Structure 1
Amino acid sequence: MKKIFGTGLTPRTAYEYNCTPYEYSVRVQRTFIKRRIEMAIGPEALARRSATRPWRTVGIWLALVVGAAALSAQLLGSALTTEFNFTDNPESAQATQLIEDVRGESANTEFVLITSETATAADPEYVEYVTLVQTTVAALGPEVVNGVGSYPTEDGPVSESGRTALLPVLMAGEDRAEAAENAELVKEAVAGITAPGGYQTFVAGELTLENDFNIIAEEDLVTGETIGIGVALVVLVVVFGTVASGVIPIILGMMAIAVAVGLAALVGQAFELSFFVVNMITMIGLAVGIDYSLFIVSRYREERANGLDKIDAITRAGSTASRAVFFSGLTVVLALFGMLLLPNTIFRSLGVGAILVVIVAVAASMTLLPAVLSIMGDRIDSLRVRRATP
């Protein structure tokens, strides 16, 4: 029986649908409108439009990546912080505020620790070395340090054994971020001093600890990306049987990460984000980017094997796999919104980063990936490492 155009309904009687003629008419109209909306903005329509205008789509995404890189370079540093706070003002935060009201806000103070295996603080060599460290750090100027103490100037402690001295360094800086940068300068200045034999010199404090956290996080991020991408590439090549098919999900995930980091830098101008947000974006971005791409590319290859031409295979993958990806991403985003309810800035930052990268990964899977598949066509099966499964 012939179907009513655009609805998928056959012109049966209202009696067969157990409704009045008016209700049947409304049902037909609603089905027609729903179908037209899906044809205009649904996953199938996005896939077809991206596939028929592939270079334009790829160009838009490349522009987004370049723009995100510019945002990251200019704004990411000021968007991230190593501090964390509670947003519900718990009793511990209230107690800290009361102490600061009475004693004043605590200053940013670092410490230079000098220890010797044989000499004591009374030895001339020890005094000379401590004085050298003190004057070197003080020479950094009032823009870096507000003052440096030591036992020769009677404003620095010495251990009971006399072998260890502590030099308190009052850091300058309008805010904690600037003070942390100055602490790194102090550490570099101390490292540039040649210590006598048997002496050891260390720089310690909250600011130095935060700087070390940042360095470790960056190193771990690079290590994790290197290992994770390598393992993922091997798995994808084994699953798809071709190098080209295995590389595409990796590229998609990397582009989603780049755009999400740029968006995080922009969001961070409204409220500071924890520096852990970059790690979260990278971890989640690789996971969902590869997962979503794997699903869609697999469906595309199946449709091509079933005899559909390139554009129709992309469209069919869009109406099935891309639709599943959209609702999967939507579910993940809604679940991650729960992290925004936690009264802790670290968890909220992680939630923001994860939400951003999932949204970008879904958008890339529904638009950029069909465009790439349209450009590559059957070359997606090039560089085969094993025979296709019959």
Structure 2
Amino acid sequence: MTPKPKGFAARAGHWSARHRKTAIFGWLAFIVIAFVIGGALGQKTPSEANTYDGETRRAETILADAGFPKKTGEMVLVQGGKGLEAAVDDVAHTLAQQKSVAHLTTDTVSADGRSVLVQFDLTGDPETATERVGPLLDATAQVAQRHPDLTVEQFGDASMSKQLEDAAKAEENGSMLMSFGVTLLILAFTFGALVAASVPVILAATAVLGTTGVVALFSQLLPLSDIAMPAIILIGLAVGVDYSLFYIRREREERAKGAGKLEAIDIAAATSGRAVLISGLTVMAAMAGMLLTGNTLFVSMGIATILVIAVAVIGSLTVLPAVLASLGEKLEKGRIPFIGRRQSQARESRVWGWLTDRVMRRPVLATVIAGGALVALSIPALGMETKLPGVESLDKSQPAVQTYLKVQKAFPAEADFATVVVKAKDVKAPAVQEAIAALNPSNVEVNPGGTVAKADVALRGSGVDDAALASLERLREDTIPAAFGGVDATADVTGVAAGTTDFNAVMKSKTPLVFAFVLGLAFLLMLTTFRSIVIPLKAILLNLLSVGASYGLLTLVFGDTAITSWLPLFLFVILFGLSMDYHVFILSRVREAWKGGMSSSDAVAHGIKTTAGTITSAALIMVGVFAEFATQSGVEMQQMGIGLAFAVFVDATVIRGVLLPATMKLLGDWNWYLPRWLRWLPELDHEGPGATPPRTLVPATA
């Protein structure tokens, strides 16, 4: 009689394998219903004001409620010598015929007289301006063709956004296809069979599809930024493929040992399934840290990634066993010549076995060399500078970026300014008007109710460079207090530089809190899981080493370019989560062997050798996917791709292949030390049928 499985993962796998149709069709029904309902509702996004932080959010909220006419500013740069005036007239006449153009002016001329700005407003909702600016760009291009000897180029928030979005979509589509191709290739080599390779990809893809619907539903309660979708795809594919890979490899290993189909699935459910559950909870805990920032971007990423991980875990524990039971021997279909038969045996890795044996023979030397190298690589991160991405971080080959740089050079005040939002009972009152005039604004607008005025004040520098940020600080700290002292009005500053400054302030204040939360919760989860106080401490330290090395590499590679402000925290959360993913999988196998009677050293060697091939395959997939981002044109995407790819590579090689076995060898039975005052923690080990009784977790004395 088959023993009754213990633990949620084991029971779920056991039931699923014996109720295949219910599990498979239930999963498909969930995916379809969630996707259809979510698609019908659509994802609800936050207001533009809520995407900012601090004083910038306050200013944008006042503007949003002030009732200013909805419009989007655009401009056409006309530059050159002979025929300049005729070209300006042509631009003005052509654009004036467009129904969506209003308030067109041609009186902004550069100091040398060789550049003119044709400025106008694009009427209608600014949030849909990107969708409606196309005809204006076409009209400007037609004028440019009629004046080939002059520069005639359009620039503005809508036109720049459209060009950059079109370019980004093209890059993303190419990267997505490449990522799927790389993933399938690595999985095919890992399993040696095309059917087995396709199962993780299909499960991950369905998890992503289902989560998009769930996120759309969730966003009706809490609007989520558009960043949610890329986050779902990035993390969903990562963990979805990893979890399936871990599960299938264990099932095939047990089959190779002689277990029957259902027995092998039961063992995989109780072991790898349990590791998937623990890993999923740990990764979700890491992602939850982003919620503490209060920033809309991070909150949206946090919620989206938590949901997709939850869906991937549920799919791995429920429908995956049913699929494996249904396929049976068909999982081996599509054998790849020369590697199919060898890979199907799921043997210990010879390469990693060779390395592990030598590392464990000289653990002190291995720890000093590998640990010292990572510490040395982390040191440059101490000098890391961060700032929000500005125009200088965008692809310089994009026409809109080139036009911006030309405008900034010819008209510094037109390219970079801060908007001071003044709110009072009557902004037309003499005292308020006098205070506004003291700011020396280039333009002032008053809302229909006369309660809000927005004044554009020129900033030095460009975008978010040091000069612009310093100029903003003087405006906020000196100019505004001096002008509005004693005046019954509020004055808040918004703009690109202001948004950068306020975002950096949030990161500076919230990052320590996020680090403490993620590390603390990960410690508690691993403490409960492995009933050891040493294991979680060592895991946290090793994971921090890989994150620190990634920071250091980014600082070295982008030495002359500031690191994107959101990237350090994003990298920490993502990398810590993925690192714990691998760590939990390996340590679960080590603990299983140790509790089965092996010595601590033998258990470590066995655990690493039997999981190394799977970890390597999973890491190669992640490195390939993340490296695709490094090939994109934007600096922030390059930084993210390099940071993620390098950290995962380090984690799967130096950390898991050298430092983990070396430190566990040095610690011996101390790895499983649990203080007496914590022995009340529940025993969560359910390694499946025939599991041995728990061993004492107090280290042997020498």
TM superposition score normalised by structure 1: 0.76
Q: Deviations over 1:332-385 (max 9, x none)?
A: 112211111102100111111111110011011011211211121111112222
Q: What is residue 12 of structure 2 aligned with on the other side?
A: 46
Q: What is the rounded CA distance, in whole Å, between the counterparts of 1:96 and 1:229 in structure 2?
A: 40
Q: What is residue 233 of structure 2 aligned with on the other side?
A: 282
Question: SS at the partner of 2:109?
Answer: coil
Q: Is the Cα contact below 8 Å between 1:129 and 1:195 reproduced in 2? A: no
Q: Deviations over 1:105-125 (max 9, x none)?
A: 585433231425443443xx4
Q: What is residue 363 of structure 1 aligned with on the other side?
A: 314
Q: What is the rounded CA distance, in whole Å, between the counterparts of 1:356 and 1:212 in structure 2?
A: 32
- Greater alpha carbon shift after TM alignment, 278-287 vs 103-112: 103-112
The equivalences for 1:297-308 within 5 A come to: 297-308=248-259
Q: What is residue 178 of structure 1 aligned with on the other side?
A: 128
Q: What is the rounded CA distance, in whole Å, between the counterparts of 2:47 and 2:149 in structure 1?
A: 35
Q: What is the rounded CA distance, in whole Å, between the counterparts of 2:222 and 2:134 in structure 1?
A: 25
Q: What is residue 149 of structure 1 aligned with on the other side?
A: 104
The structure 2 residue matched to 1:79, chosen from 41, 44, 59, is: 44
Q: In the superposition, relative to structure 1, how do residues 361 and 231 fare at CA in structure 2: closer, same or farther (>3 Å)? A: same
CA positional deviation for 1:213: 4.6
Q: In the superposition, relative to structure 1, how do residues 315 and 361 fare at CA in structure 2: closer, same or farther (>3 Å)? A: same
Q: Is the Cα contact below 8 Å between 2:72 and 2:123 reproduced in 1? A: no
Q: What is the rounded CA distance, in whole Å, between the counterparts of 2:215 and 2:168 in structure 1?
A: 17
- Greater alpha carbon shift after TM alignment, 217-226 vs 333-342: 217-226
The equivalences for 1:25-44 within 5 A come to: 38=6, 42-44=8-10
The structure 1 residue matched to 2:76, chosen from 80, 94, 113, is: 113
**More relative contact order in 1 or in 2 (CA 8 Å, sep 6+)?**
1
Unaligned runs of 5+ in 2: 348-702
CA positional deviation for 1:82: 9.1
Q: What is the rounded CA distance, in whole Å, between the counterparts of 2:214 and 2:319 in structure 1?
A: 18
Q: What is the rounded CA distance, in whole Å, between the counterparts of 2:67 and 2:309 in structure 1?
A: 44
Q: In the superposition, relative to structure 1, how do residues 70 and 104 fare at CA in structure 2: closer, same or farther (>3 Å)? A: closer
- Greater alpha carbon shift after TM alignment, 213-222 vs 247-256: 213-222
Q: Deviations over 1:318-337 (max 9, x none)?
A: 11111110111011112211
CA positional deviation for 1:299: 1.1
Question: SS at the partner of 1:169?
Answer: strand
Q: What is the rounded CA distance, in whole Å, between the counterparts of 1:60 and 1:364 in structure 2?
A: 11
Q: Does 1:234 align with 2:185?
A: yes
Unaligned runs of 5+ in 1: 9-34
Q: Deviations over 1:55-103 (max 9, x none)?
A: 3322222233333443454344x5346947468x6345446667x59x9
Q: What is residue 372 of structure 1 aligned with on the other side?
A: 323
CA positional deviation for 1:47: 1.4
The equivalences for 1:1-390 within 5 A come to: 38=6, 42-71=8-37, 73-76=39-42, 78-80=43-45, 83=48, 85=50, 90-94=54-58, 100=63, 108-122=71-85, 125-136=86-97, 139=98, 141=99, 144-145=100-101, 147-151=102-106, 156-174=107-125, 176-191=126-141, 195-196=145-146, 197-385=148-336, 386=339, 387-388=341-342, 389=345
1:109 partner amino acid: T
Q: In the superposition, relative to structure 1, how do residues 86 and 115 fare at CA in structure 2: closer, same or farther (>3 Å)? A: closer
TM superposition score normalised by structure 2: 0.44
Q: What is the rounded CA distance, in whole Å, between the counterparts of 2:79 and 2:116 in structure 1?
A: 9
- Greater alpha carbon shift after TM alignment, 231-240 vs 58-67: 58-67
Q: What is the rounded CA distance, in whole Å, between the counterparts of 2:22 and 2:139 in structure 1?
A: 52
1:149 partner amino acid: L
2:87 partner amino acid: Y
Q: Is the Cα contact below 8 Å between 2:184 and 2:201 reproduced in 1? A: yes
1:343 partner amino acid: G
- Greater alpha carbon shift after TM alignment, 64-73 vs 361-370: 64-73
Q: What is the rounded CA distance, in whole Å, between the counterparts of 1:314 and 1:306 in structure 2?
A: 13
Q: Is the Cα contact below 8 Å between 1:110 and 1:204 reproduced in 2? A: no
Q: In the superposition, relative to structure 1, how do residues 85 and 48 fare at CA in structure 2: closer, same or farther (>3 Å)? A: same
Q: In the superposition, relative to structure 1, how do residues 269 and 234 fare at CA in structure 2: closer, same or farther (>3 Å)? A: same
Q: Is the Cα contact below 8 Å between 1:253 and 1:361 reproduced in 2? A: yes
CA positional deviation for 1:264: 1.7
Question: SS at the partner of 1:274?
Answer: coil
Q: Is the Cα contact below 8 Å between 2:287 and 2:306 reproduced in 1? A: yes
Q: What is residue 593 of structure 2 aligned with on the other side?
A: none
Q: Is the Cα contact below 8 Å between 2:96 and 2:104 reproduced in 1? A: no
Q: Is the Cα contact below 8 Å between 2:91 and 2:140 reproduced in 1? A: no
CA positional deviation for 1:223: 2.8
Q: What is the rounded CA distance, in whole Å, between the counterparts of 2:142 and 2:22 in structure 1?
A: 54
CA positional deviation for 1:198: 2.6
Q: In the superposition, relative to structure 1, how do residues 148 and 54 fare at CA in structure 2: closer, same or farther (>3 Å)? A: farther
Question: SS at the partner of 2:221?
Answer: coil
Q: What is the rounded CA distance, in whole Å, between the counterparts of 2:182 and 2:200 in structure 1?
A: 13
Question: SS at the partner of 1:150?
Answer: strand
1:60 partner amino acid: G
Q: What is the rounded CA distance, in whole Å, between the counterparts of 1:384 and 1:167 in structure 2?
A: 65
Q: What is the rounded CA distance, in whole Å, between the counterparts of 1:189 and 1:63 in structure 2?
A: 48
- Greater alpha carbon shift after TM alignment, 367-376 vs 219-228: 219-228
Give aligned pairs, total.
Answer: 340
1:55 partner amino acid: K
- Greater alpha carbon shift after TM alignment, 341-350 vs 161-170: 161-170
Q: Deviations over 1:218-264 (max 9, x none)?
A: 33432332222222222212222222211111111111111112222
Question: SS at the partner of 1:149?
Answer: strand
Question: SS at the partner of 2:133?
Answer: helix
Q: Is the Cα contact below 8 Å between 2:76 and 2:153 reproduced in 1? A: yes
Q: What is the rounded CA distance, in whole Å, between the counterparts of 1:379 and 1:353 in structure 2?
A: 35
Question: SS at the partner of 1:218?
Answer: helix
Q: In the superposition, relative to structure 1, how do residues 81 and 211 fare at CA in structure 2: closer, same or farther (>3 Å)? A: farther
Q: What is the rounded CA distance, in whole Å, between the counterparts of 2:137 and 2:108 in structure 1?
A: 20
Q: What is the rounded CA distance, in whole Å, between the counterparts of 1:233 and 1:190 in structure 2?
A: 45
